[in-house]
A and B are shown apart, each in its own frame.
Chain A
Amino acid sequence: MSAATTDQATLAPGGALGGMPLDSLMACPQCDALYVAEMPAVGERAICARCHTVLIAPKRKAGFKIIALTLAVIILVVAALFFPFLTISAAGFGNNASILDSASSFQSGPMVFLSLAVAGMIVVIPLIRTLLILYVLIPIVGDRPPYAHAKRAFRLTQELKPWAMAEIFAIGCAVALVKVADLAHIGFGPAFWMFAVLVIIVLINDNYLCTWSVWKSLELDQREA
């Protein structure tokens, strides 16, 4: 997957584009370099020759994989919310906290804002993104016209991407564990392991999504409709 070979093979720099239809071109969103868009072979990626941003990364049967992964995520999130996440015990006292407990631990005055932000970053935004991706992809995979507002939905998933922080929260658990190690004993509840699986799935999910291909299919469907 070396950048140079792949992009020469698949993306002709848009130097001689007299009369090329605009929808056969693409510009690197990061550096504005213009290319003739051509689908690379499955497993290869088209990479901007100038700034090395990945432009197109088609995956074999990506649609089915994404939908299977997404269903798994939803099941896991629901399960993770209703099981204890971490448990603690010290000197005969015990307590356990679910993921939602952690998110709602800031309760006095302006700290409520923090509760909302944390709940959003670790549960709500990852969940909304996943549901929206599902909403956009199901018709594409089934070769049917997209559902209403599919474009707005897909744009939102891209805008929300940096704010989904489930994987950072997972590492935070490990840090919390060490921090109170000599104060009390902490154990992992069933939800912790579900959450760990969820994090891996979310990461795979994003890596299996070629946004350019999705936009392309949304555009094609619109024209035929």
Chain B
Amino acid sequence: MTAREAGLVACRRCARVWPMGTERCARCGSHLQSRDTGSLSRVWALWIAGVICYIPANIYPMLITQTLLSTSNSTIVGGAVELIHHGSIGVALIILAASVLIPMGKFLAIAYLAISVRRGSDVSAARRHHLYEVVEFIGRWSMIDVFVVAILSSLVQLSVVASIHPGSAALTFALSVIFTMLSAQAFDTRLFWDTKDQGQNQRNDTT
């Protein structure tokens, strides 16, 4: 049985339940909504912002490296390819996973989850909820590339020998990660379970 079926509204912050129609949780002060109906439009708006920022993040340079002999601009993918040439395949894979695989996977996963809530899905609610948790857990790790740029540009300042400066992709990439994190957070995960429960009453914990 769910709180809504019992005529109660649950607080998502502190798990306290209140009679349906209560506006604010008296225990923690959070705003109460049995289901966050505006959730999906916020998810989509932030998702679009994230995708838009991700495009320039891949076109413009992430790092500008100046040495005695040359100046080189490297993009996210370019930087990883360079690492492979230097033999650091493990680190190249970390960068590619954090900066390409995870962001793309997140965009696809969030879009799929948002569509599944509106249209319904054959995939069980438990499965989709699990996918959501993976997205939430892994998403933050995309910031690693931004931190690497920050560390390198503060550290590698060796006069004419070598210096590293951040490229504009660092900004748009960080924005893309932030928007995507906000998009995932905007989800009301209770919506997965509602579509599953509609019509039949097959949950083992409903009495």
Contacts and interface: CB of A to CB of B under 8 A. Distances in A.
Contact of B126 (A13, A15, A51): A51
Contacts of A113: 171
A171 to B, nearest CB: 6
Interface residues of A, number: 73
Interface stretch (B39-47, B87-95, B104-112): B87-95
A88 B126 CA distance: 49
Nearest to A49: B205
Contacts of B158: 88, 90-91, 93-95, 184
Interface in A141-163: 151-152, 154-155, 158, 162
Contacts, number: 219
A50 interface: yes
Interface stretch (A20-28, A62-70, A200-208): A20-28
Interface residues of B, number: 72
Interface in A174-195: 175-176, 178-184, 186
Contacts of B168: 111
B54 interface: no
B186 interface: no
Q: Is the interface of B mostly helix, strand, loop or mixed?
A: mixed
A215 interface: yes
Nearest to A13: B205
A103 B149 CA distance: 10
Given A27-B10, A162-B181, 17 more contacts: A14-B6, A22-B8, A26-B10, A31-B2, A32-B2, A34-B6, A34-B10, A88-B158, A90-B162, A97-B154, A101-B154, A102-B150, A102-B151, A152-B29, A183-B67, A186-B155, A219-B16
Interface of A: 13-17, 22-23, 25-34, 37, 49-52, 55, 86, 88, 90-91, 93-97, 101-106, 110-111, 113-114, 117-118, 121-122, 151-152, 154-155, 158, 162, 165, 168-169, 171-173, 175-176, 178-184, 186, 211-212, 215, 218-219
Interface of B: 1-6, 8, 10-19, 27-30, 34, 65, 67, 79, 83, 86, 88, 91, 94-95, 125-126, 129, 136, 140-141, 143-144, 146-148, 150-159, 161-162, 164, 166, 168, 170-171, 174, 178, 181, 185, 189-190, 192-193, 203-207
